[in-house]
Amino acid sequence: MANETMLEKYDYKGCGSCPLRADFGTESYGDCVKNHRVHLKIKVTKAILWEAWNRFIPAFKVGDAVEVEGVAKDGILYCCTGESTLHPFVKDYMNLGAIEILEVME
């Protein structure tokens, strides 16, 4: 799948509602990552906020280009997570509606 940027983005609403969970059973958080992990280069198109103690803090700003880890199967990107460019040590799931996929890497 290298350099294939034509991944359709799934409307991610959390691991509990992801259809990939059915592939691995109900108690299998993380198995989808082990089996369908992809590395992506993305560009942030809308600011992405991180929730911390009932406050929303910017984690990525518009224009950031970052490498992230995602879960993709059959041409669909189900989720991705990346380390904040603004706050070291903050790694969280990203709103797929706020990113543009630049490259799918090995």
Structure tokens at 52: 């911390």
What's residue 2's pLDDT? 45
Check residue 3 and give its pLDDT. Answer: 46
Q: Is the predicted pLDDT of residue 4 greater than 60, yes or no?
A: no
- Residue 17 pLDDT > 50: yes
Instruction: State residue 6's pLDDT score.
Output: 81
What is the reported pLDDT for 35?
Answer: 83
**Domain locations in the chain?**
8-105
In angstroms, the CA 14 to CA 76 distance is: 15
Residue with tokens 């969970």: 21
Q: Which amino acid is at 48?
A: I
Once rounded to an integer, what is the mean pLDDT over residues 23-49? 82
The pLDDT of residue 8 is: 93
Please say whether the beta carbons of 18 and 35 come within 8 A.
no
Dihedral, 24, 39, 2, 96 alpha carbons, nearest 10: 80
Mean predicted lDDT score pLDDT of the chain: 85
Residue-wise pLDDT for 59-99, tens only, equals 999 999 999 999 999 999 999 999 999 988 888 888 999 99
